[in-house]
Structure 1
Amino acid sequence: DREMIVRLLPTFVISFGVVLWLLLGYRSPAIAGLWGIIIALGLAMFQGKYRPKWTRLYSAMEEGFYLVAILSLLLIAVGPLGQVMLTTNLSGRLGAVLVQYLPDSQLLLLLGAMCVSLVLGMGLPTPVAYLIVALALVPFMQQIGVPPLQAHFFVFYFAVFSTLTPPIAVSVLAAAKLADASFLKTAGESMKIALTTFIIPFAFVFSPELMTFPNLTWAVVPPLLEVLLIQLTVSIACYGHVFRNLRGWERWTIGLAAFAGFLGMTDQGNIFFLAQAALFLPMCAYAFVTRQKKAPEAAA
């Protein structure tokens, strides 16, 4: 009810704000989380009749220690994978393998670099993941014509995203344990949420105007609108809803529109932007006109 929200909201907002402020101030996640817990516990004492009882606090702490122990064991099991990459120098050979086996296409080589970055970064802390992928892939990316700044952004972005992508997906593992949910279903939902952002590193490479921040000019507007439109299309295809729940063939059509927009953004030809518009706009118009009709349940 409203009273409960009024009482509980300050505890959440203030503790979360402190954690965010500490992280933005380059404090470690452990320190930020510890201060967040301390502040949340302190503010919980002023929640009136909604103040947690000592037995409930004890139960919550017991459950927290249990989850930390389980996650620690899982991370210990994942750690050797990253060490194998370093010890065997497998990471240093992957760039050469990409050039040897992939066709001479910058887009295909970047897609290969994306996959390698996701693999190399899995289960590793962010600084270590970045160092590994930078050493392994940035020289290779510069050889295929990517400027140094964009190359570093590209590999860093996907090395960080390895925390969301199977088979390791440490963040998904933690979230699934906290929610007592299926790992694969949680990974699927996390990918649906993050898929719209997977195109951003490619936008950095093929639209370097986006890297001029904070010195924004009108040249940034077209590529920014392109990225936003592709993200909107991808999101609609993933969640199957625009004005109403979409049928299977409608989602596939909008998915093709998103793919066409991605090809257009990566300099494969302006014809793909026209294809995106020709597929996306009529489908949105059709969904709007038929929004009052009984629609199927949105698929997961």
Structure 2
Amino acid sequence: MADEKNEKLAKDVLKKYDKESNAAAHKGLLAKFVSALAIAFSVFQLYTAVFGVLDAQLQRAVHLGFGLALVFLLFPTRRKHGPELHIEDYILAFLGAAAPAYIFIEYQQLVLRAGTVTTMDFAVGAVGLLLVIEATRRVVGIPMLVVVTAFLAYAFAGPYMPGMLAHRGLTPQQLIGHLFFTTEGIFGIPLGVSSTFIFLFILFGAYLESTGLGRFFIDLANAIAGWASGGPAKVAVLSSGLMGTVSGSSVANVVGTGSFTIPMMKKLGYDKEFAGAVEAAASTGGQLMPPVMGAAAFLMAEFVGVPYIDVVKAAIIPAVLYFAGVWLGVHFEAKRKNLKGVPREELPKASVILKERGHLAIPLVVIIYLLVSGYTPMRAALFAIVLSIAASSLRASTRMKPMEVVKGLENGARNILGVLVACASAGIIIGVVTKTGVGLKLASALLELSGGMLLPTMFFTMITALLLGMGVPTTANYVITSTIAAPALVQMGIPVLAAHMFVFYFGIIADVTPPVALAAYAGSAISGGNPLMTGVNASKLAIAAFIIPYVFVLNPVVLMVDATPLALVQTLVTAVIGMIAVSSSLIGFLANDMRMVERLILFAAGIMMIIPGGVTDAAGLAILVACIVFQKRRKNAEAAV
């Protein structure tokens, strides 16, 4: 009964805080049609992955056509009146398929008259642009809609803008021609990545979810960490980190694992706000966890011009430090409150879990091997999809039935819709930026505002990413900040990968940064705690994400850029020790309860060790050791009284 209640709560929370999960549940013939359309979408993507993708604009046009049709069928206009579709939804679904189909049908003619927009071209392009905007409103949300419309307005208002923001201005024909009939607008790199790599990885995640991998991760985390101090909270950290390899959504990750772990944490004695914060911080970090990171990581590989495996390698140490920070925060809070773990005899045995369901993780191991071996992400994902189905068949208890395999195709198509629309709308922003040249102007303005100094430039870039992240999905957030803010860092001599990773991190961590912290709000909805305090606690636990980006910009060795093995080991060891100092200072407990002065000193010592450098490492370590000795002596003295 409790499990059913938790499952219902999880579904309600997901629909409330994750807009793209709030799709209508149709019945009858309409449900069958939508399912068939979604399955056809997945089949098209698999076919092109196996036999070769179409020309860039054709591949992206078919991808967008399927996506828009499904969006208007699954997200009705008047949701408050129920899930039923209305006549306008059917019309928009038809137009959503027809506008991109025009490119497919007229492709040869469009190529021959490149740069010339006929009346028919203009009409179709205008409809297509408006459909993407409406889909953005329905699936992504109002904040993204505001950003997109602001950029479109800027395209026309150029002659009336002040100072460096002024430009010639664009005619409607010029704008439509650029945004809808080139690969620099809606059909640009973001949608290109969505139509190849991202779709296959999302389909891979859908199949892994169908096999029961999520429950396997939770049970395995319970067996490994459930007995420790504050065991359920550590289970949340570990399972959420593992789930990050298959889920690209912070809110979905919170709901998926939090419905199990948050009640366990509350039962153990954690405050409601802290329990929700643990899950929010750990789940948000899932997008930072290699090998399968958030959709923005695939875009980063394209924008920076490096293989995806290089992005994965660069993310390893920062991800380890992030989860070390969350884990340590949980540990010190448990020690401070003297919270014990679950008795070992009440926990499942890791050996039994691995024997019964360990085969479900085989696809993850294989996909890492394939990426490291030089396979393209697309080919690696394709093999992993097939292997996830095959691996589930190794035991009768996990074997997928034929209908479940087909259902996986449908779920994969449904799960891509939010990313697809975000990529299309991000393409509008890129199109306006490239056509008006505003990207370089804003980067120059950022440098001027910071006085040409690196730290202020990084600070303003961080604020920009956090503000955008309060309402804009990570994918679109990364596209905007990498187009506008990252170039400013690059102009100051920062390696391109480090600059892009910087904005990527702060775009993601916005999910736990108050006042708009969707992952924290989802966690508080499950825990019953105060949303704002849950966000504050989550920000404390996620402190590494606010520190590490500065570190790897100042010293790219953290990203494995020009790093020797010795330098990597030294950096990782001292940084983890530094996280001990930082996390304990924020919680207020190390060997004993801390006074405010001790917390400030320890925080400073932790920062000194996280920043690579022999002198700062030694000084920070000396301060940490001195604090531990001092606290233990005080604790013994208090016990003796």
TM-score (normalizing by structure 1)? 0.67
Q: Distance in 2 between matches of 1:173 and 1:104?
A: 38
Q: Which residue of 1 aligns with 2:495?
A: 147
Q: Which residue of 1 aligns with 2:526?
A: 178
Given the alignment of the two structures, is residue 202 of structure 1 paired with residue 148 of structure 2, yes or no? no
- Which of residues 558, 568, 583 is equivalent to 1:220? 568
- Kept after mapping to 2: 8 A contact 1:165/1:191: yes
Change in CA separation of 1:249 and 1:57 when aligned onto 2, cut-off 3 Å:
closer
Aligned residue identity for 1:233: A
Query: Counterpart of 1:292 in 2: which secondary structure?
Result: helix
Aligned residue identity for 2:566: W
Q: Distance in 2 between matches of 1:58 and 1:221?
A: 46
Change in CA separation of 1:112 and 1:258 when aligned onto 2, cut-off 3 Å:
farther
Number of residue pairs matched? 237
- Which of residues 633, 636, 641 is equivalent to 1:289? 633
Larger deviation, residues 178-187 vs 270-279: 270-279
Change in CA separation of 1:60 and 1:154 when aligned onto 2, cut-off 3 Å:
closer
Change in CA separation of 1:195 and 1:94 when aligned onto 2, cut-off 3 Å:
farther
- Which of residues 52, 63, 67 is equivalent to 2:13? 67
- Which of residues 591, 606, 610 is equivalent to 1:258? 606
- Which of residues 81, 106, 110 is equivalent to 2:143? 81
Change in CA separation of 1:167 and 1:292 when aligned onto 2, cut-off 3 Å:
same
- Kept after mapping to 1: 8 A contact 2:578/2:608: no
Aligned residue identity for 1:232: I
Tell me how far 1:271 sits from its aligned partner: 6.3
- Kept after mapping to 2: 8 A contact 1:197/1:231: no
Q: Distance in 1 between matches of 2:147 and 2:615?
A: 41
Tell me how far 1:165 sits from its aligned partner: 0.7
Matches within 5 A, 1:11-22: none
Q: Which residue of 2 aligns with 1:42?
A: none
- Kept after mapping to 2: 8 A contact 1:122/1:129: no
- Listed one character per residue, the Cα deviations across residues 164-183 of structure 1 (whole Å, up to 9, x for unaligned) are 11121110111111111101
Q: Which residue of 1 aligns with 2:580?
A: 232
Q: Distance in 2 between matches of 1:57 and 1:104?
A: 56
Tell me how far 1:94 sits from its aligned partner: 5.5
Query: Counterpart of 2:141 in 1: which secondary structure?
Result: helix
Q: Which residue of 2 aligns with 1:121?
A: 469
- Kept after mapping to 1: 8 A contact 2:515/2:535: no
Change in CA separation of 1:101 and 1:218 when aligned onto 2, cut-off 3 Å:
same
What percentage of residue pairs aligned between the two structures are identical? 25
Aligned residue identity for 1:130: Y
Tell me how far 1:273 sits from its aligned partner: 4.9
Tell me how far 1:228 sits from its aligned partner: 1.9
Change in CA separation of 1:136 and 1:280 when aligned onto 2, cut-off 3 Å:
same
Q: Distance in 1 between matches of 2:493 and 2:468?
A: 22
Q: Distance in 2 between matches of 1:83 and 1:109?
A: 27
Query: Counterpart of 1:162 in 2: which secondary structure?
Result: helix
Tell me how far 1:80 sits from its aligned partner: 2.1
Change in CA separation of 1:278 and 1:187 when aligned onto 2, cut-off 3 Å:
same
- Kept after mapping to 1: 8 A contact 2:506/2:545: no
Tell me how far 1:234 sits from its aligned partner: 1.0
Q: Which has the higher contact order (CA 8 A, sep 6+)?
A: 2
Gaps of 5+ in 1: 1-51, 296-300
Gaps of 5+ in 2: 23-136, 155-428, 430-438
Q: Distance in 1 between matches of 2:3 and 2:620?
A: 53
Structure number with bigger Rg: 2
Query: Counterpart of 1:155 in 2: which secondary structure?
Result: helix
Q: Distance in 2 between matches of 1:272 and 1:104?
A: 26
Q: Which residue of 1 aligns with 2:268?
A: none
Larger deviation, residues 94-103 vs 192-201: 94-103
Change in CA separation of 1:235 and 1:94 when aligned onto 2, cut-off 3 Å:
farther
Tell me how far 1:194 sits from its aligned partner: 0.4
Given the alignment of the two structures, is residue 280 of structure 1 paired with residue 628 of structure 2, yes or no? no
Q: Which residue of 2 aligns with 1:190?
A: 538
Q: Which residue of 1 aligns with 2:559?
A: 211
- Kept after mapping to 2: 8 A contact 1:192/1:238: yes
TM-score (normalizing by structure 2)? 0.33
Q: Distance in 1 between matches of 2:569 and 2:12?
A: 49
Change in CA separation of 1:212 and 1:62 when aligned onto 2, cut-off 3 Å:
closer
Query: Counterpart of 2:516 in 1: which secondary structure?
Result: coil
Q: Which residue of 2 aligns with 1:30?
A: none
Aligned residue identity for 1:239: I
- Kept after mapping to 2: 8 A contact 1:121/1:132: no
Q: Distance in 2 between matches of 1:57 and 1:287?
A: 43
Query: Counterpart of 1:88 in 2: which secondary structure?
Result: helix
Q: Distance in 1 between matches of 2:3 and 2:616?
A: 57
Given the alignment of the two structures, is residue 98 of structure 1 paired with residue 431 of structure 2, yes or no? no
Aligned residue identity for 2:596: G
Tell me how far 1:65 sits from its aligned partner: 4.6
- Listed one character per residue, the Cα deviations across residues 175-224 of structure 1 (whole Å, up to 9, x for unaligned) are 111111101110111011100232222232222223338x8611212322
